[in-house]
Structure 1
Amino acid sequence: MNKLIVIEHIKFALEAKLNEAQQAAQSAHEDATHEQSVAETQYDSLSIESGYLAQGQSERVNEVHKSISLFAQSYDVNVLPKIGLGSLIKAIDIDDNTHWFYLGPSEGGLKVVVKGELILVITPSSPIGKAMNGKRVGDECEYTVAGQTYNYEILAAM
C-alpha cells in the first residue's frame, strides 16, 4: 500500500467533508435570514431554531477546517520505529482478515478506499488507537469495546 496515495485520499475526503459542511452552513444561514423566518408571534420559534442551526453548521465548518490543519501536521511518509500519529497500519485479526488503519489526529471513523482496500481512520484516544499506539511490526494488540474483545497482529506500519 502506498502511503502517499492513502494521504491523498484522506485529503480528498476531508475536502469533500468541508465542502458539504460549507454548503449546509450556507443553506442554514439563508434559511435563518429569509423573510419567512421572521417570528410572527412571541411563540413562533422558527427563527430561533434556524439561527441555532446556522450557528451549529458554522461550528461544523470550523471543526473540519481544524481537522484539515491537524491532519496536515500528521502527514509523514517516513517509517517510524513505533506506531504513532500519521502511521498507516496493516493488521490481521484472529480470523485472518486483513485490516488497514491510519492513526490520525481526529475524524475517527472516516473511511477511504484505496485500490479496493478500506482504510479506517482511528485516533489515539479511541480504544483501538490506544491499543496500537506505540506498537511495532509483529506486536499484538487487544482492546475491549462493549464487552467484546478484539485482537490484532501488526503486519506492517508505515
Structure 2
Amino acid sequence: MKKSDLRDAIVRELQQELARQAGAAAMARDEAISEESRAENKWDTHSQEAAYLAEGQARLAADVVGSIELYRTLPLPDFSADAVIALGAVVEVEAAGGNRRTRYFIGPRAGGLELEFDGQSILVLTPQSPLGRQLVGRRAGESIQAVGRGRPAALQIVAVR
C-alpha cells in the first residue's frame, strides 16, 4: 500500500465534499437574497434564516478547504515493525477472536471519512477521536479496549505502516 496514493484518494474525497458544500452554500446564499425571501411582515424571518444557513455552509466549505491543505502537506513517515502509532500511520486492528480486521488511517482532520483503497475499506481517524486517542502512542502487538455498541471490545493492533 502506497500511503501517498492513499493521501491522494483522501484529498479527492475531500474535493468532492468541497464541491457539495460549495453548491449548498451557493444555493443557501441565493435563497437568502432572493426576492421571494423578502419579509412579508415583521415576524417573517425566512431570509434571515437562509442567511444563517448560507453562513454555516460557507464555514463548512472553508473547513474542508483547510482539511485539503492539511492533507496535501501531511508528511507520511514510514513506520517500522516496532514503531509507535502517530499521525500518518495506517493501523490494522483485529477484534478478539480474529474474525474481523479493520484498517484506519490516522489523519489530522476529516475523521469518519471512509473510503475504498486497494480493495480495502479504510476509515480516517483523528488523534482527538476516542479510538484515535487509544491508538496513538501504541505499537503493533498491543491491545486496547474500544467501546462498541455500548460494551467494551478488545482490539489487537496487528500492524502499523
- Relative to the length of structure 1, the TM-score reads 0.91
User: Alignment partner of 2:152: what SS?
Assistant: strand
Aligned with residue 126 of structure 1, among 129, 142, 151: 129
Contact 2:144/2:155 (CA < 8 Å) preserved in 1?
Answer: yes
Residue aligning to 1:46: 46
User: Alignment partner of 2:139: what SS?
Assistant: coil
Say if 2:147 is the partner of 1:149.
no
- Cα offsets for 1:73-114 (capped at 9, x unmatched): 434142262110111111111132110001111221110111
Distance 1:11 1:77, change over 3 A: farther
Deviates more, 1:68-77 or 1:53-62: 68-77
- Cα offsets for 1:114-154 (capped at 9, x unmatched): 13311011111111111110111222222336742122212
Percent identity at matched positions?
30
Alignment of 1:1-158 (within 5 A): 1-79=1-79, 81-96=83-98, 97-144=100-147, 147-158=150-161
Where do 4+ consecutive residues of structure 1 move more than 6 Å? none
List gaps (5 residues or longer) in structure 2. Answer: none
Q: How many residues align?
A: 158
Distance 1:74 1:151, change over 3 A: farther
- Relative to the length of structure 2, the TM-score reads 0.89
CA distance in 2, matches of 1:130, 1:148: 18
Deviates more, 1:138-147 or 1:39-48: 138-147
Q: What amino acid maps onto 1:115 in structure 2?
A: D
Backbone CA RMSD of aligned residues: 1.7
